[in-house]
Amino acid sequence: MPENLFFRSFGESESNTPPLIILHGLLGSSRNWATVGSRLGAERRVYALDLRNHGQSPHAGEHSYPLMVEDVLAWMDARKIGRADFLGHSMGGKTTMRLAVDYPGRVNRMVVVDIAPRNNPPYNQRAFSAINALPLSKIRTRKDAEAFLEERIPSWAFRQFLLTNLVLGANGSFAWQVNLPVLTESLRELGRSPLEEGEAWRGEALFVRGGKSDFVRDEDMDVIRRHFPSALVETIADSGHNPHIESSKEFCGAVREFLG
């Protein structure tokens, strides 16, 4: 299954430049990274993956950071990619941290987007409650789904993000593309820090946080540098949790400057 993870590729391959592998966040997919992938692909080959139970990748009965790490490594092995730069957002950022600590030889440099190596409150529970409650058998159009979620999810942008996971099947019925039951069961696990006290990776790391987001707080700087002593931290002031979408040009500039 892991080597069959769906992916999108951007840019050209250069033998002296490691590829960049992008790992999305919870309920995201590679399609959310098409703009960033195209921009960064001007300098290197970029791969944006759909992690297990997301997007067009296969579903599995379990979902955890160690399992996602093994999936990504199997995908790399199948394509003879020994070492790569990584860019991970939120859940994908925590996966990247775990991968770097467990397999330091596979990570050249890493960019972690708006997440810190600490326990997070289960912020997604409201969203998961809403999408689990959506009566799929009664939904005839995407507008029906939008109207149902509007009462439960105030943010228009977040509703649109959630609805990227709603697909129309060949039988004319709507379904969730993500493995909703397994992801719902895994929320508590995904909210935990991916690292244990004392674990560290000393390679080059950039943490990009949104200035309007509380996922990476000022008081998180100490824990970031305990686990990643060489980490740089850059704040995109006008962005929330999704700087790659909200401030794409500035975000790409920061990543490009770091990766060189």
136 and 246 together in one domain: no
- What is the C-alpha to C-alpha distance for residues 208 and 199, in angstroms, rounded to an integer? 21
pLDDT for 166-183, tens place per residue? 999 878 899 999 999 999
- What is the C-alpha to C-alpha distance for residues 95 and 218, in angstroms, rounded to an integer? 22
Q: Which domain holds residue 164?
A: 125-185
- Is pLDDT at 45 greater than 80 in this prediction? yes
pLDDT of residue 128: 96
pLDDT of residue 170: 76
- The mean pLDDT of 147-152, rounded to a whole number, is 94
pLDDT for 104-142, tens place per residue? 999 999 999 999 999 988 778 889 999 999 999 999 999
70 and 181 together in one domain: no
pLDDT of residue 43: 86
- What is the C-alpha to C-alpha distance for residues 150 and 158, in angstroms, rounded to an integer? 10
DSSP-assigned letter for residue 44:
S
171 and 197 together in one domain: no
Helix/strand/coil for 190: helix
202 and 100 together in one domain: yes
178 and 206 together in one domain: no
pLDDT for 68-94, tens place per residue? 999 999 999 999 999 999 999 999 999
Count up the domains in the chain and report the number: 2
Confidence of residue 63 (pLDDT cuts 50, 70, 90): very high
pLDDT of residue 171: 83
Is 86 within 8 Å of 99 (Cβ atoms)? yes
Is 88 within 8 Å of 208 (Cβ atoms)? no
pLDDT of residue 20: 97
208 and 110 together in one domain: yes
The CATH number covering residue 78 comes to: 3.40.50.1820
205 and 111 together in one domain: yes
180 and 223 together in one domain: no
Is 49 within 8 Å of 75 (Cβ atoms)? yes
Residues near 174 by beta carbon (within 8 Å), at least 6 away in sequence: 136, 139, 142, 145, 166, 167, 168
Strands ordered across the beta sheet of 232-236: 7-10, 46-49, 20-23, 84-89, 107-113, 204-210, 232-236
pLDDT for 25-39, tens place per residue? 999 999 999 999 999
Instruction: State pTM to two decimals.
Output: 0.96
pLDDT of residue 14: 67
The residue among 185, 213, 232 that closes a domain is: 185
- What is the C-alpha to C-alpha distance for residues 173 and 2, in angstroms, rounded to an integer? 28
- Work out the mean pLDDT of the chain and round it to a whole number: 95
